[in-house]
Every structure is written in C-alpha cells, then in structure tokens.
Structure 1
C-alpha cells in the first residue's frame, strides 16, 4: 500500500487541497452547484439535452403526495427510490420485485407498502439530504446492469465514475458493489474501485478499502481484464455533461444497462480522489497539460477521443 502511495506521489497525485484550490474553486462557479447537487434538476437538464438517463416514474415532494406512491408504481414490478439531494448512496432504496403484497429489496428483505411510505417520509424530512434540508423523493427505473459485471458485483449495480476537466475525460474507474457496501457502488461504504485504461476501456488495477486486490472480495472473480462495452460512447456522454452543468471540473457517474446501454446516473461537483489509487496514476500532470491547452474541441465525441489519447505511457 505504501509503495503504491509513494509511486502515486512521484507521478503527480492530486491532493485535496490542490483539487479544491486549482480545479474546483477555479473552474466551478458556486452558482452552478445546485444543478448537480439536485438530482431532479440534473435529470430534467439531461433529458432536455438528449442525454440518456434512467426514466423518472414520479416525484414525491410533500407529505401529502406519499398517498400517490401506489399510483406511481402500479405498472412497475421493480424501481428505485432516492433522495433528490442525497449523497454517497444514502437513502437509496432498490426494489427488485414483488411477493404478494410486499416489495423485495436488492438485499433480499421484504418491505410492506407502509415500510416504503415511512422511508419516503424520512427522505422528505431531510434525513438523507445534504445539510438536513427538506427533500424530494424520486422514483425511477431500476437499471439492469450489463452481464459483463455479473461475476464482480454483489447485489447492486456497478457504475463508472469519470473525471471530466474542461470537457475532456481525464480518468475513469468502475465501482463494484460488495456485501460490505450493501450493494451500493460507493467506495466509502466498502465498494471496490477498479481503474480503467482510457484508450481501451479495459479494467486494470483494483482497490478495496484503499488496499490493492485482484479478485472481488465476495465472488472471488478476477477484476482486471474486463472490456467495458460502448466505451467511446460512454466517454462522450461524460464529455457532454460539461455543457450540461457548465462545470469545468466534475465527476460523471454512468451505469451500463443491459438493454439501454450507457445512462447518466448523476454528476458531482466535488469528485473524490481515490480514482488515482484505483488507476495507480496521479492526475496532476495531465490536468496541468489540459489547463494549458489553448483550444478545446467543440464536439463531445472529439473531446472523448482527446481524453483517450492524452495519457502518457508512464503507468505506475
């Protein structure tokens, strides 16, 4: 572990202070933060821009609307409930099917409708929101992840986090749910992070709890060597989110649906830095290189291609 950190430092790892001062404060206007901190606004913006997102079934905004829950999901056996202002996967409830009058969660638990309405009420009260402010509950399509990830995921949907700087994809990793993370693709809760080669879309190294691993801790399957389908399309989607949010430095989370392909899940104005450990490569040199570019391609596809070719071959 210490050897990896030492090599990361030599390769130009970006620390939190540098990220905040040189990239977030400089390239992200604070007035634009609500566009990404509010998942409902993000979804509306993406839909209006033609960017693929999970379908929204309904929104519950006030306590009185909780009574409309049954009507919203009457045509859907499975769905996801999430807070509009939640972070780190908190408050997300994934329903994978029904058994008689009860709803089955992704962890196997069975919930009554009253259980779900109670959870929605907690979302509205701000239990899971940033700053504890009153919130909204989104009910949306449950992603059916690509079979590629079946052996390296535990009861949840993997997502692909990409850092985008000045509209150019810089680094990517796939976050794989585990038993520890309770099926959520969140590294802080115990998910696995696997670096992705930007040129080929192939998984390389992996970390779990900041320690290098080769196999998924629950399934035992090898993590490296997976080729992400629709790779250029996925990077192009990430690049498009630069125009969508107007942020110069952001994280874009994309999921791969087995039928619908890449879908943008959410955006982050303050993406974490563990992506460097997962890739065993610091981002500082590349970010500085992009900061000095006088001309950035207007096309999101061209920016995605640029992101695939800017990396130098000095992998750690």
Structure 2
C-alpha cells in the first residue's frame, strides 16, 4: 500500500513527517493548553453530560447512576424494561475500560454486543468492579453510569454489526484538526477502542468521507468481520458534527482535547465523551502527522481571534481536507487511546 513506512524509524524521520509524539503532545499541547482546574469537566463523564445538556448539546440519555452495592439487588429486573439494550460505563473511566454494551435480552439473560450472554450475577460483578475503582483513573472508588444504547445510523450497518461506532475528533484551540471513525469489532467486544481491537479509519475533514482503515497498527481496506469496504464511507451530517466538535472548546475550557461523537439514527450527532489526553493513533488512521496542522492553527489564532465554532469548523475543513485516499499509516511511538 502506498505510503507505508517501516515499523521502527529514526526520530528525525518522524519529525520530518510531522508526527506528534507523546512527549511533545504532553509538554507542548496538553500541559500548555489544558488548565488542570478544567480536567473534571472531561474526566467525570456525568459532569460532561450535565454541562453538554446545559449548553443545549445532545447526549445519550441517562437511565440511572449506581453509587453503592445495595443498588444492585434488583437492578437486572429493572433493566429488563430497556428492551433496546443499555450501556454501563465507569464515571471516571479511561480508554474504554469497564464499558459494557448490552444489545438486548434472551429471557433473564442479557446479550452483549459481541453476542456473548451475561446473567444477573455477571452484571453485578461487573458493576461491583466499577464501584471499587477497577477501571477509574487512579483506581479510586467510582460510580457506574447506565445510559441508553445509541441506535446507530444505517450508514454504518455494514461496518459495525456489533457495538456502536463513534467519531473521534482532535480539537486544538477550538479548531478540528484531525478525525477518525472508530468501528467496533467482535475482537473489541463491541467497543470502539483501538487498543482493544477496534478499527480506526481516517476521515477527510472537507467531505466527511473515510480514507481506509487500520487495526493493530496495520493498514486494512475492509472491515475484519464483515469485509465491507472502509473507503469512501460518507459520515452523515458532517458539517454539523464538525461544528459540534469545535464548540467543545468552550464547553470544556480545554485547548487540546478529543471529542467523541456518536450518530443516532433518530437524534443525529450525540456527544459521547470528551478526552483531555487524546491518543496519537489518529495519525496512524489518517496516514498524516498532527504537527503541521497544529502549527497552522497557531498561525491562524495569531491573526484571527474570537471566531465562533461554525467559522472555526469551516476554516478547518477548507485547510485540512482532501487527504489522498489510500495513504498508509504513519510511523509511531507507543501511545494511549
């Protein structure tokens, strides 16, 4: 595949290709542009949901919050009312750990996104792990959020037969700079996290069309489960999604963040969560380095200030779009998700 690089290369080669490494990301962008006082806005998923709702931004519906073990006694019986399924996640989780996606019921047992079955004891054990801090940042005791399961757009039917796909956009100083579609697989147990085996596909910021995919840092052009093409899949409502991502600068108070959005077939784009430490795998999915785009935003901000989200999104689409289809992954360092 054109654009493929060897797995191990010199740091000087990475710099020439515009690759943003973890150390540079942490020192020059996260530390510089993300005030610590604003981290709770994104590290606490319940607070993120509250802030987004107050700002008039759509989010998946909240069914309930589990704070203590005594709430688990009749939980499975209560959740049987959720015939379309539900999602359980730790309020302070990271990298997709601890997320449980249930797509429906078979008698008294729950069907997970991967197709595996789960009984009420398994559900209680999973939530108990969340409450104990097994998946939380720093291992602190946590709460479990129960959300409505998103009914993803029909556009994704052939590339996401398990779980719900989402779109991760890196936003710098209010400007979307790079995006990827993350597709759950059977290997990832229905979760859209690359380090668990999901597929990432680069997205052209101008058109919202996918550019081909990557799984386990290897380039692919078809989905590993369905064999459907990962090239030229059009993301519905792309302009609205870009504007939504740009507006998360004001919502979060962070200058460098990841915005995760899902597209519901009935409600359109919904903010799933925000991330103060977005991983670098998005460069692999796009076959492009972030550094030139971040520098272009710095130059833009030096000339123009106080642009509204819609104008920032339009500028980003005009300047960072039209990436050639079929470009392979970039060389990379170890990264988080």
Identify the TM-score tier after normalising by the shorter chain: over 0.9
The within-5 A match list for 1:292-311 is: 292=299, 293-294=301-302, 295-311=304-320
Query: In structure 1, what is the Cα distance between the partners aligned to 2:151 and 2:140?
Result: 31
Q: Which residue is equivalent to 2:135?
A: 128
1:243: Cα distance to partner? Answer: 0.7
Q: Which residue is equivalent to 2:330?
A: none
Query: In structure 2, what is the Cα distance between the partners aligned to 1:257 and 1:312?
Result: 25
1:14 paired with 2:17, answer no
1:223 paired with 2:230, answer yes
1:43 paired with 2:46, answer no
CA deviation digits over 1:112-137, x for unaligned, max 9? 22321222122111111112110001
Secondary structure in 1 matching 2:56: coil
Q: Which residue is equivalent to 2:258?
A: 251
Higher mean displacement: 306-315 or 101-110: 306-315
Q: Which residue is equivalent to 1:266?
A: 273
The 1:312/1:46 distance shift into structure 2, 3 A limit, reads: closer
Q: Which residue is equivalent to 1:199?
A: 206
1:195, 1:279 within 8 Å by CA — same for their partners in 2? yes
Query: In structure 2, what is the Cα distance between the partners aligned to 1:246 and 1:274?
Result: 24
2:259, 2:275 within 8 Å by CA — same for their partners in 1? yes
Query: In structure 2, what is the Cα distance between the partners aligned to 1:30 and 1:60?
Result: 27
Query: In structure 2, what is the Cα distance between the partners aligned to 1:92 and 1:37?
Result: 15
2:194, 2:200 within 8 Å by CA — same for their partners in 1? yes
Structure 1 residues without counterparts, runs of 5 or longer: none
Query: In structure 2, what is the Cα distance between the partners aligned to 1:297 and 1:95?
Result: 43
Query: In structure 2, what is the Cα distance between the partners aligned to 1:5 and 1:196?
Result: 25
Query: In structure 2, what is the Cα distance between the partners aligned to 1:114 and 1:190?
Result: 27
The 1:5/1:213 distance shift into structure 2, 3 A limit, reads: farther
Query: In structure 1, what is the Cα distance between the partners aligned to 2:101 and 2:146?
Result: 10
CA deviation digits over 1:209-233, x for unaligned, max 9? 1111111112111101101000011
The 1:46/1:312 distance shift into structure 2, 3 A limit, reads: closer
CA deviation digits over 1:243-297, x for unaligned, max 9? 1110000000001111111111011101011111211111111111211322244
1:79: Cα distance to partner? Answer: 0.9
Normalised by the length of structure 1, the TM-score is 0.94
Q: Which residue is equivalent to 2:168?
A: 161
Normalised by the length of structure 2, the TM-score is 0.88
Secondary structure in 1 matching 2:258: strand
1:179: Cα distance to partner? Answer: 2.1
1:276 paired with 2:283, answer yes
Query: In structure 2, what is the Cα distance between the partners aligned to 1:100 and 1:291?
Result: 56
Secondary structure in 2 matching 1:226: strand
Secondary structure in 2 matching 1:81: strand
1:8: Cα distance to partner? Answer: 6.4
Query: In structure 1, what is the Cα distance between the partners aligned to 2:170 and 2:114?
Result: 30
Secondary structure in 2 matching 1:225: strand
CA deviation digits over 1:72-119, x for unaligned, max 9? 535421111111111121111111112222222222233222321222
Query: In structure 2, what is the Cα distance between the partners aligned to 1:120 and 1:313?
Result: 44
Query: In structure 2, what is the Cα distance between the partners aligned to 1:110 and 1:60?
Result: 22
Any runs of at least 4 consecutive aligned residues in structure 1 with deviations exceeding 6 A, and if so which? 4-8
Higher mean displacement: 8-17 or 24-33: 8-17
RMSD: 2.0
Query: In structure 2, what is the Cα distance between the partners aligned to 1:260 and 1:303?
Result: 24
Structure 2 residues without counterparts, runs of 5 or longer: 328-337
1:159, 1:185 within 8 Å by CA — same for their partners in 2? yes
The within-5 A match list for 1:142-181 is: 142-181=149-188
1:110 paired with 2:117, answer yes
